[in-house]
Amino acid sequence: MADNKPREEQLCTLEKLRNLFILTLTLTGAGEHRLNPNLLSSLRSALSRLQFFSNGYDLDWAQSSEPRLQLMSSALRSLVRDLICLPMPTIAAVTGHASAAGMMLALCHDYVVMRRDRGFLYMSERDIGLVISNWFMALMRSKIGDPRARREALMRAAKLTAEDGVRMGIVESAHDGAEATVVAAAELGEALVARKWDGHVYAGNRRVVLREVLEAIGSMRRSRKWRRIRPCRNCSLAFS
């Protein structure tokens, strides 16, 4: 019988540095950071011990069958819900590309710091023929207030550099190189920890701010999550 599990190249590590917890996506072999159930489960497991970047879904695996894509979407939504409910500030240090679901995963954090000399944020759904899900859109509305910036990211599928992200209000700061980006994330984390906020109050406020996202995630449990675009004849419209 064929093995239906995705390749297990993606892992994560969790370490404590002074007052910070650092969750890192690691690579083995020549693969990329592609989100599959194994990696998503590992990330959720790491988060559960607290009570990351990514080229998006492993579509070669997920698109081989509808149940696989449904499983992938469900696992990602669960991870996002965990991040939103985490009782501490969260910071994403993006040192490479963060595409599609990978960009969504980055935006689920309270702050994003990004390397300016390499990598981009990229909502690739339009280019690869996928309709953007309701909860993705809810997150984009929550994180990108300017409608023109949302149009650039979603309808033009622009590959946004760190400087673009700062200009659009998505990225907190841009830095030269991976090491400088990680250092900046750690320094921001230390500054936030020094405020000595109540973690559960912090998480409660975050849940209020991102209520639309949580409600959209909940509604997705009762509907089909992802559908292939069916183009409208003689126009660029698409229906799910």
Which residue do the tokens 């954090």 mark?
109
Alpha-carbon separation of residue 100 from 36, 97, 153 (angstroms): 13, 10, 10
Q: Please check whether residue 20 lies inside any domain of the structure.
A: yes
| Average pLDDT score over residue span 1-5 | 42
Q: Is residue 3 included in any domain, yes or no?
A: no
Q: Report the range of poorest mean pLDDT among 10-14, 208-212, 226-230.
A: 226-230
pLDDT for the residue numbered 122: 92
Average pLDDT of span 56-60: 59
pLDDT digits (tens, 9 = 90+) for 92-112: 999 888 888 889 889 999 999
Written as six digits, the tokens of 116 are: 């300016």
Residue 5 resides in a domain: no
Of 117-126, 160-169, 214-223, give the lowest mean pLDDT range. Answer: 214-223
| Averaged pLDDT of the chain | 78
The verdict on residue 107 lying in a domain is yes
Residues 138 and 117: beta-carbon distance below 8 Å: no
How many structural domains does the chain have? Answer: 1
Evaluate whether residue 104 is within a structural domain: yes
Complete edge-to-edge strand list for the sheet that includes strand 91-94:
91-94, 111-115, 173-175
Q: Read off the pLDDT of each residue in 2-7 and give the average, rounded to a whole number.
A: 43
Its sign, for the CA torsion 12, 14, 15, 17, is positive
Task: Express each pLDDT in 189-201 by its tens digit.
Answer: 999 999 999 999 9
Q: Residue 235: pLDDT above 50?
A: no
Per-residue pLDDT band at 85 (split at 50, 70, 90): very high
Q: What is the pLDDT of residues 178-187, one digit of tens each?
A: 899 989 999 9
102: CATH: 3.90.226.10
Confidence of residue 8 (pLDDT cuts 50, 70, 90): very low
- Per-residue pLDDT at 101: 84
Name the most confidently modeled range: 5-19, 55-69, 159-173, 223-237: 159-173
Q: Is residue 23 part of a domain?
A: yes
Which residues span the domain enclosing 129?
A: 10-239
More confident residue, 232 or 132: 132
* Domain contains 14: yes
Give the model's pLDDT for residue 205.
Answer: 97
Residue 141 lies in a domain: yes
46-56 burial: b if 16+ Cβ within 10 Å, else e: bbeeeebbbbb
